[in-house]
Structure 1
Amino acid sequence: MKGVLLVNLGSPKSTDPKDVKTYLGEFLMDERVIDLPKLLRTILVKGIILNTRPKQSAKAYAKIWWDEGSPLIVLSERLQNKVDDMTSVPISLAMRYGEPSIKNGLQELYDQGVTDVLLVPLYPQYAMATTETIIVLAEELRDQFFPKINFTVVPPFYNHPDYVTVLARSIADKLDHVDYEHLLFSYHGVPERHIRKSDITNSHCKIDGSCCQTPSKAHQFCYRHQCYETTRLVGEKLGLKEGTFSTSFQSRLGFDPWLKPYTDRTIEKLAKDGIKKMAIATPAFVSDCLETLEEIAMEGEEIFHENGGKDFHFIPCINDRQDWVKTLSRWIDEWANQPVKDTKAS
Structure 2
Amino acid sequence: MSAGYFLKRTAFALLALAGLMIAVFFLVRLTGDPVNLYLPVDASQGARDAMRTKLGLDQPVFFQFLDWGGQMLRFDFGTSLWHNRPAIEVVLQALPNTLALGAIALTFAFGGAVLFGSVAAVRAGSWVDRVINLVSQAAASVPDFWLGLMCILVFAVTLRVLPTSGFGGPIYWVLPVVCLFARPFGTLVQIVRGSMLEALNAAFVRTARAKGAQTGRVTFVHALRNALLPAITVTGDLAAQFAGGGGVVEVVFGFPGIGKLLIDGILKRDFALVQASIFCVAIVIFIINIAVDMLYAAIDPRVRIEQ
User: One fold, TM greater than 0.5?
Assistant: no
Larger strand proportion of the pair: 1
TM-score (norm 2): 0.29
Higher relative contact order, structure no. (Cα contacts within 8 Å, ≥ 6 residues apart):
2
Larger helix proportion of the pair: 2
